[in-house]
Chains A and B, each alone.
Chain A
Amino acid sequence: MNILIFGCGRTGAALALGLSTDHQVTIIEQNPEALRRLGQRHKCKVVIGSGLDEDILVRAGIKEADVFIAVTRGDNTNLMAAQIAQLSYGVKRICVRVADPYRADAYRNLGFFCITPSLILAGMMTDWIDEKPYQTADAYNVIKNEVQI
């Protein structure tokens, strides 16, 4: 599969390195310094620039992308990039990291697959403490109490 990853932070880099053994991976990153996370020997194609810029997306091969993953540190940046991928280029499978659980919830209602790392972490730790088996991402990915996070 052709996989396009926007954001070469820890998550983006780990994802890219893991996926690139079996898939064609392209990573878009604004800050060249962040690319050190990929190490010296990797098989990913790298495009420097913003994933909100359609010229950059095209250069990164969004027209052929099967999967688009937005994992920059900016929730709004991720959400906007995801919508460009969906509406302008019709990418079928899109995954967005959204740190704010309420914002994630709102966009989940619009049909986007949003992952909220803090909820998954809190959920898994709770299960570990209670000595329960771990659950699926979706089980953790929902707001359980009306608290300010």
Chain B
Amino acid sequence: MYMILVGGGNVGAQLAKRLIAREHEVLLMEKDSRQAQRLASMLGENSIYVGDGCEIQTQRDAGFGRADVVVAVTGEDEDNLVVCQMAKTVWNVNRVLARVNDPSHEALFQSIGVNQTISATGIIYSLLDQQISSDDLIPVGALQRGSIEVVEAVLSNRSPVIGLAVRDLKLPPQTNIVWLIRDDQGHIVDGTTALQEGDTLVAVVPQVHAGALREILHPEF
């Protein structure tokens, strides 16, 4: 697959490195020539294009016309928007992805036909929000742009679930306790697992139900 990435900052560089390692044909576009030189020494001359990915002539030279995927990862939403819009409307690129810095811009990106938007601010915010609203549920990962979370919870002696089997918990929808750490040992959890004080649970929970999960494990006293 031919993938074009626009924007050679940290995100673009790391992404390019991983995609090249997976043996995709990758071209990373960067308009600052000194930054492009640094990237070339890291990723190889052939993977770097020095030029403004927002310009049609540059896009033609870079081969937007035969790209399977275009990813816009500059630090500016307006630049990412124009790259994506050109990729879709001028070059008919099949899959177009954008990094969106201001989460309130995501709807605009989706309405112009961008296939996927990724908002780091939005993901970090929702994790942070989770952290602030609860000391008991610790976010360890996010899936589906933050709408599904992987969380960790340590059961204190006040938790009402101690002594109960997992299948007897009234867990929120689409929520699963998948793993448990007890005495520094990891255990796979099934319905019969009985919970003990000090257990660290790892659960997958839709973000909207995280509060309900917290209520079950650690209701406010």
Contacts and interface: CB of A to CB of B under 8 A. Distances in A.
* A and B co-occur in one complex: yes
Q: What does DSSP make chain B's interface, helix, strand, loop or mixed?
A: helix
B82 A109 contact: no
A80 B54 CA distance: 13
Contact of B56 (A74, A80, A83, A102): A102
A74 B79 CA distance: 10
Interface residues of B, number: 21
Contact of B77 (A80, A106, A110): A80
Contacts of B102: 52-53
B111 interface: yes
Contact of A76 (B79, B90, B107): B79
Q: Is the interface of A mostly helix, strand, loop or mixed?
A: helix
A2 interface: no
A86 B156 CA distance: 53
B78 A76 contact: yes
Given A52-B102, A106-B89, A87 B111 contact: yes
A88 B55 contact: no
Contact of B54 (A54, A83, A103): A103
A80 B82 contact: yes
Contact of B55 (A74, A84, A87, A100): A100
Q: State the 9 A-B residue pairs at the shortest beta-carbon distance, nearest first.
A: A76-B78, A80-B78, A102-B56, A76-B82, A77-B78, A80-B81, A76-B79, A106-B90, A87-B111
